[in-house]
Amino acid sequence: MRTVRDIPMLENIPVLLRTSLNAPVENGVVTESFRLTAALPTIEYLRTRHAKVVLVSHISGSGAETLEPMYKAMKEWIPNLAFCPVSTGPEARAAVRALSAGGVVMLENLRRNAGEEKNDPAFAVELAELADVFVEDSFDTCHRVHASIVGVPKLLPSYAGLTVEREIAELAAALSPKHPSLAIIGGAKFSTKEPVLARLLTSYDSVFVGGALANDFLKVKGYPVGVSSVSGADDAQIKKLLTNPKVLLPLDVVVASQGAEQSSSRVVELSEVGDTEGIYDIGPKTGEMLAEKIHSARTILWNGPMGLFEKGYLDGTRAVARAVAESDATSVVGGGDTVAVISELKAENRFSFISTGGGAMLDFLVSGSLPGIAVLN
C-alpha cells in the first residue's frame, strides 16, 4: 500500500483528501474534536509541502447537515482554511482553482449528494475532477462502499494518509497481543459483533462481553432479562461462544423499570432482574472484576460502551476507562461512545492508541483489511 509519503510531487498539486470530520455538534458548535485533531497530521504534511489541499468528508444524519461547524473549529488550527458550500460542480472547481500553494479548502458534506452513499460512478468522477491525486485518511469510513471511498481511488493515483497508515499498524499489532491479554467488547447488535468475538477468542486470553450485547448471552444462559434490549440472535451461535472458557460476562447489572428515570435504577444480581425491568449498565462487582483483569493485562483491546449511552448510563464505561487509563498495558480502544467518555475524563494521553473507527475497527480486526484500504493496493 502506498502512503502519502510516496507521492512523487506535491508542489502546487491539487490533492483530494478524504478525511474524517464527522464530529458531534450541538447548536452549531463542535462538542468533541477528537476526529478533527486526528485529521491534522496528514493535512499539515500536505500543506507544508505546498500542495493544494481539498478536504472532503461527511457528517452523520439525514444528509442535510453541514460541515460549517467543523470548518469554524478547524480555523483555529488552519488559519488559511476556506469553505465551499458544495462538494462538486462549478463552484467547487472554482474554489480549488483559487487555492494557492499550501492552501486548504473544505468542501460541504458529501452525503448531501445521494451519489456518495450509492457509490454512483458519476459522482465519483465529479469528485475526481477536482484534483490530480487522492489521499484516503478517513479510516472510520473505510468499511463503507461509498463513492469517495472506493470510487475515486479507481480514477486517480491514490495513497493512504498518515491516520490510515497508523490505524493499520496499531490494529494489526493488536491481533498479536502480549499476554496476559484482555479484550472488552460492548455496544449492541450481536450479528455485527459475533465475527470479531470469534476472532478475538483465538488470540486473547479473556474476552469480556458488555453493553446490550451481553443481554443476548445472559438470556441464553437462562438469566431473566426483563424488557432489556436483545438482538434476537441465533441461540446456537451464542451457545457455541459460551463453550469457550475465555468468555467473560457481567456478574451484576444496573436495572430500571421501563420508562423510569435513571435516578430510580438499582444494582441487582443476574437472577434478580424483574419482568418489567431492563438492564442498562454493568454493576460494581463487574467493574471490580474487570479492574483486576485490566491491572494484570499486558494488552487491552476495547470497543464499545458498557451501558446504554444514550440514556446516560455511563458509570460502567467510566469505570473501565479509568482502570485502563491507570494500567501499564498496551491499550487500543475505539468506538464513538467509548472515545466520548475518554474525552470527557480528559484521559486521551493515557491510552496507547485511540482508533478513529468504531465499526471500521471491528471489521479490520476480523478481516485484516477494508474496502477503502484494499482499493489502494
What residues act catalytically?
35, 189, 336, 359
Q: Which residues pair with 55 in a beta bridge?
A: 17, 106
SS3 category, 84: strand
| Nearest to 85, CA basis, from 100, 103, 65, 101 | 65
Whole-angstrom CA distances from 186 to 153, 311, 316, 333, 360 are 33, 16, 11, 11, 15
The beta strands (E) that lie in 157-227 are given as 158-160, 181-185, 206-209
CA distances from 173 to 10, 31, 180, 209, 300 (A): 31, 31, 15, 22, 12
User: What is the Cα–Cα distance from 197 to 152, expressed in whole angstroms?
Assistant: 33
* CA distance linking residue 78 with residue 7, whole number of Å: 22
Q: How many CA atoms lie within 13 A of 101 on its CB side?
A: 8
Is residue 371 within 8 A of residue 153, CB to CB? The reply is no
CB contact at 8 A, 47 and 53: yes
* Cα 268 to Cα 285: distance, rounded to the nearest angstrom: 10
